[in-house]
Structure 1
Amino acid sequence: MIIQPGNNAATAKPAPIQGDNQLFPVFLKLNELHVVLIGAGNIGLEKLTALLHNSPQTRVTIIAERVLSEVQQLVASYPQISIRQKTFEADDLNEADLVVAATGDNELNAHIRRAAHQRKLLINVADKPDLCDFYLGSIIKKGDLKIAISTNGKSPTIAKRLKQVLSEALPDDLDTTLQQMNALRLQLKGNFADKVKALNEATAMLVEQKPAQKHHLKWLIWITTVLALGLSLTTLWFNQPGFKIYVQHINPAFYYFLGAGFVFALIDGAIGMSYGVTSTTFSLSMGIPPASASMGVHLSEIMSNGIAGWMHYRMGNVNWKLFKMLLIPGIIGSVAGAYLLSSLEHYSQYTKPVVSVYTLILGLVIFSKAFKPKRIKSADKVKRISLLGLGGGFIDAVGGGGWGSIVLSTLIAGGRSPRFSLGTVKLSRFFIALMGSLTFITMLNGAHWYAVAGLVLGSALASPIAARISNKISTKVIMVSVAVIVILVSLKSIYAFAAKFL
């Protein structure tokens, strides 16, 4: 029986599904094709850059009346690319395999599209999804590995943001694994089923390593924390007579610092910064000298950042390459800053207003960030990560805070993923706070231990909760509230110092 074409179930096209991406992903060998690009302005430059970034050997003919100087400079490095400075004609597509229209002229783009379709050519029209036969999606490239992202033309911005997140998450050495797997595949013998089984067994370790890595990191954090606290308590018990007294007779102010540490750690978990500046500002307002205030902040951040860092690691929020670049410089800066501030502890009546000015500036920075829109451009990523870690660690130790405000804010403003930056900064802060705290303990003789203990316990209690609330409350409201409190308390401290000389 022959079924004739007609309105029946066998030949009817399925109805499109609303909200369903019907695109079929393919990867073209552009180095074997001829692409005609119409337009050589900013849009044409963007399209040409995307083509060459993925397929540097692509043969491209550019048709344009005016050619941007940047396009000419780029073309100079690619001998297989030619520029024909002329008005577009339909015959310019006679030898094309693919067409890209990047003119910004709607009428001209429509004319180019008609000419391309008459020649059975596929065309991409910049910023006009309805006129496109194919899209140039956001591409993630790790050596031979490529991942293309498509939003069906709905939002290129979302595609770019997903590209940024995945680029941060995928390790740079993933291509090494890919090459090793290819070498293994070429060595395998037997039928198809045997080869698949062998490859599955080889790749299973990639999944099995993750729990082991988490397990090892968990024990590393907890063992380091226990050893650090044990060493700190032993040193304090035998070398600090005042510590024994406070253990036996707890100062009522301890409970104020306990509550303050809990609240400040929750705030820090919500916006990724401000624990140091809020704790230091509060400590100064309670009469604690700057060095002792900074020590209290750093000791409390050992446990709170250890817990928060572990939580972020379990959620996959740590960029290990960024972590390594921040860690050692951050520790060096923290130790140097702690040593300097501790050496000036006897001059706290002079250093206190300086630190108050610093917290005032941080308060203004936090306030401005609450209303400033986030503009993330991956092309402007911070390059000197080590210098950022060194400066952030030093200023954080001297001012009793600022690691989050300086390092985290700079990373995000420079195009880093907010989620991965937050997790990485939290985990690195654990080790930096540990070394800074040991320096403070070694240098100081008369610390205010009730304040230190209150901040330590309060922040530790809040840490597991803080890591989970970062996306569940209004960041702007919290930032504005924190900024106002910090600014007012800092101004009060500065005014009190100035009043002594008036």
Structure 2
Amino acid sequence: MSLLTQNNDDKIIDEGNGNELFPVFLKLQNFQTLLVGGGNVGLEKLSALLGNSPKAKVNVVADRFLPELKELVIHHPSVNIIERKFQDEDLNDIELVILATDNRELHEYIRKIAKEKGLLLNVADTPELCDFYLGSIVKKGNLKIAISTNGKSPTVAKRIKEVLNENIPNEIDDTLEQINKLRLTLKGDFSDKVKALNQATASLVSEKQPDKNLKPATLSYIIWSFVVVFAAIIFYVLWKEEPVFRNYVAGVNPQFYWFLIAGFIFAMIDGAIGMSYGVTSTTFSLSMGIPPASASTAVHISEILSNGIAGWMHYRMGNINKKLLKLLLIPGIIGAVLGAFLLSSLEEYAHYTKPLISLYTLILGFVILKKSGVLKLKNAKAGPKIKKIGVLGFTGGFIDAVGGGGWGSIVLSSLIAGGRNARYSLGTVKLSRFFIALMSSLTFVTMLNGLHWYAVAGLVLGSAIASPIAARISNKISAKTIMVAVSIIVILVSLRSIGKFLMAF
């Protein structure tokens, strides 16, 4: 474990010549640590120690303890709680000391004794009394990165930690394991081993670097602006000069334009937060009087093109985990086809299935709200990395087909909650969604008669226009506000649909 862990002790120190701190990674199970303090700061310090070194040997001394700290200690037999005030003999046989109380006089007293014994000391929020600081840690399996800003800005250290956590995939640990296995098989002297490892890892950085003189994002916006302006001019000319075109447009079902706008908006939202296109489109379709099976059909057909475009964009940007894609795809397709078959068979009972689908979208609304961070479960922690990807894919595909959406909400949320890299999970789920939507759409079209094609066409065109734009801005929009707004709309519309059904009796 590093002396730089997950707290913000490194406040401002002397200017010096840059950062003069020396980072060290300690095996805390080989040391005896004393932690004085059982309140919020003590809990924070102990959580940081055990989060990085679960077998760390720690004596915690305090006259009172938070229940959460006692609960944490239950799972760590190497931690010993001493419920009383600090005594001088607590420093006997101790090698590291961490002080986490609000009593500065006590801190100064303990520091004096600790220095006489030659002990290293950390004092919460008092850098002038510290021998080492606890900073920010990025942990990905066997990879651990300690971050320090020399006390200049703990906030910047946190932001750097977030960026690294987001962009370093969890799969990096698999890479480290493979490289280690390769290293153990190498023969020859140190120079030969270095050359062999360089050759083995060269492919990781061999991709062509973009031309720094070009600005792809700016160029993309310019191209799309010209496309939109050109389309508007063509439409205006045809409307003004071609009576046949005017008559054709006038004959289009007016609801087509609502679905066109809705498809564009929902695809943009989906690109920003990585989910909710299915649930928002289905909720909207049901509110417009479309039966459940037809609504799901319209949503899935529109997702073929939009997710194909978005998936290709993510593939070009390197956001695809190919191994994860293979594990999701076949089970997801099987689940989607079975779900589509079941819902199509019940189309004649749409009066009864519609409130059930509305109940499902209501649940998904709360799922999205929870994911936004507004709803938080007490002591909620990220679950273990999901191993049964096939089961997740089948479940997500089946529920997605039956409910008209949920692949993103269920599969993406589960992957991220299980510790998967958010960017790679988003790209992989988007690309796999193309195949899921394709197969479920084929099932719906084969079994259903009288599809509402104006809804299909509106969602297809709207989402297709938005998809490449949404893929570009997916990492540039703060998603929390969007997620809260979407979840509230979905919840209210779903409740309205359920209420109308109940009032009919």
TM-score scaled by structure 1? Answer: 0.69
SS of the residue corresponding to residue 100 of structure 1 reads strand
- Change in Cα spacing, 1:157 to 1:411, as seen in structure 2 (3 Å) is farther
Which residue does the alignment assign to 2:455? Answer: 451
Unaligned runs of 5+ residues in structure 2 are: 1-13, 210-247
Q: Secondary structure at the match of 1:173?
A: helix
Q: Which structure has the larger Rg?
A: 1
CA gap of 1:72–1:447, structure 2 versus 1, over 3 A, is closer
**Post-superposition CA distance 1:157-188 (Å, at most 9, x none):** 65764575366444331232331353256x23
Residue of structure 2 equivalent to 1:235: none
3-state SS of paired residue (1:379): coil
Give 2:189's aligned residue: 189
Instruction: Find the residue that maps to 1:26 and give its secondary structure.
Output: coil
| Deviation of 1:265 (Å) | 1.2
Q: State the match for 2:273 in structure 1.
A: 271
> Residue deviations 1:446-483, cap 9 Å, x none?
43344324422332221110122335556466456655
The one-letter amino acid paired with 1:179 is N
Q: Secondary structure at the match of 2:179?
A: helix
Is the CA contact 1:301–1:459 (under 8 Å) kept in the aligned structure 2? yes
In 2, distance between residues paired with 1:31 and 1:284? 59
Superposed counterparts of 1:430-449, under 5 Å: 430-449=434-453
Q: Please report how far the alpha carbon of residue 294 of structure 1 lies from its aligned counterpart in structure 2 after TM superposition.
A: 0.7
Structure 2: which amino acid aligns with 1:183?
A: L
Cα distance, 1:131–1:429 mapped onto 2, change above 3 Å: farther
Shift of the 433–383 alpha-carbon distance from structure 1 to 2, 3 Å rule, reads same
Change (3 A) 1:365 1:104: same
> Per-residue CA shift, 1:185-214, capped at 9, x if unaligned?
6x2337x5x654444233213333799xxx
Q: What amino acid does structure 2 have at the position aligned with 1:435?
A: M
Q: Could you say which residue in structure 2 is the equivalent of 1:301?
A: 303
The TM-score with structure 2 as length reference comes to: 0.69
Contact preservation (8 Å) 1:35, 1:99? yes
For 1:380, the equivalent position in structure 2 comes to: 382
Match of 1:174 in 2: 175
CA contact (8 A) 2:263 2:460 kept: yes
What is the alpha-carbon distance in structure 1 between the residues aligned to residue 299 and residue 97 of structure 2? 60
2:264 corresponds to: 262
Instruction: Give the Å deviation of 1:342.
Output: 0.6
**Is the contact made by 2:392 and 2:411 (CA closer than 8 Å) also made in structure 1?**
yes
Determine the structure 2 residue equivalent to 1:133: 131
Q: Distance in 1 between matches of 2:280 and 2:396?
A: 17
- Number of residue-to-residue matches in the alignment: 444
8 Å CA contact 2:385–2:419 kept in 1: the answer is: no
Question: Using a 3 Å threshold, how does the CA distance of structure 1 residues 425 and 52 change in structure 2: closer, same or farther?
Answer: same
SS at match of 2:206: helix
Q: Residue 463 of structure 1 corresponds to which residue in structure 2?
A: 467
Q: Which residue of 1 aligns with 2:285?
A: 283
Cα deviation, residue 363, structure 1? 5.2
Aligned residue identity for 1:442: T
Q: Structure 1 residues 378, 207: CA separation in 2 closer, same or farther (over 3 Å shift)? A: farther
The answer to whether the 8 Å contact 2:140/2:170 transfers is no
What residue number does 1:402 align with?
406
After superposition, residues 51-450 of structure 1 pair within 5 angstroms as 51=49, 73=74, 76=77, 78=78, 88-90=86-88, 93=91, 96-103=94-101, 105-126=103-124, 128-140=126-138, 145-150=143-148, 152=150, 154-155=154-155, 158=159, 161=162, 164-165=165-166, 168-183=169-184, 187-189=187-189, 192=191, 196-208=194-206, 252-253=252-253, 256-315=258-317, 317=319, 326-359=328-361, 362=364, 372=374, 379-381=381-383, 386=389, 389-409=393-413, 419-450=423-454
SS in 1 for 2:146: strand
**Deviations 1:379-436, CA, capped at 9 Å, x for gaps:** 3326666565544433321221233344445666777665455444323323322332
Q: Secondary structure at the match of 1:308?
A: helix
Aligned residue for 1:124, secondary structure, equals strand
State how far apart, in whole Å, the 2-side matches of 1:352 and 1:467 are: 32
Q: Structure 1's 346 and 64: CA in aligned 2 closer, same or farther, altered over 3 A? A: closer
How large is the Cα RMSD of the aligned pairs?
4.6
Unaligned runs of 5+ in 1: 1-13, 212-248
Once the two structures are superposed, residues 349-386 of structure 1 have per-residue CA deviations (whole angstroms, 9 ceiling, x without a partner) of 44334434544565576578778267898833266665
| 8 Å contact kept, 2:264–2:464 | yes
Q: Distance in 2 between matches of 1:148 and 1:294?
A: 48
Alpha-carbon distance in structure 1 between the residues aligned to 2:54 and 2:418: 28
Alignment check: 8 A CA contact 1:363 1:487 kept: yes
Shift of 1:284: 3.5
Distance 1:477 1:32 in 2: 47
